[in-house]
Amino acid sequence: MPELPEVEIIARRLQAGQNGIALPGHTFVRASLQWPRQVGMPSAEGFRRRIRGRAVQRVRRRGKYIVLDLDRGALLFHLRMSGDLYLQPREAPVEPHEHTRLMMENGWELRFRDVRKFGRIYLVDDPQILLARLGPEPLDADFRPRDLARLLAKRRRALKPALMDQTLLAGLGNIYTDEALHRARLHPRRLCSSLNDEEIQRLWRAIRAALRAGLRHNGASIDAAYRGGGFQKHFRVYRRTGLPCPSCGTPIERIVLTQRSTHFCPACQPEDA
Q: Are 174 and 181 in contact (CB under 8 A)?
A: no
Q: What share of the chain is helix, strand, coil (3-state, %, to 5)?
A: 30, 25, 45
Q: Are 119 and 99 in contact (CB under 8 A)?
A: no
Q: Are 239 and 28 in contact (CB under 8 A)?
A: no
How far is the C-alpha of 265 from the C-alpha of 181, rounded, in Å? 10
**Strands 74-78 and 65-70: what pairing?**
antiparallel
How far is the C-alpha of 161 from the C-alpha of 165, rounded, in Å? 6
Q: What positions carry a catalytic annotation?
A: 2-3, 64, 260
Q: From 179, 199, 182, 183, select the one nearest 191 (Cα to Cα).
A: 199
214: three-class secondary structure by DSSP: helix
Calculated CA dihedral for residues 61, 138, 181, 210, nearest 10 degrees = 60
How far is the C-alpha of 162 from the C-alpha of 167, rounded, in Å? 9
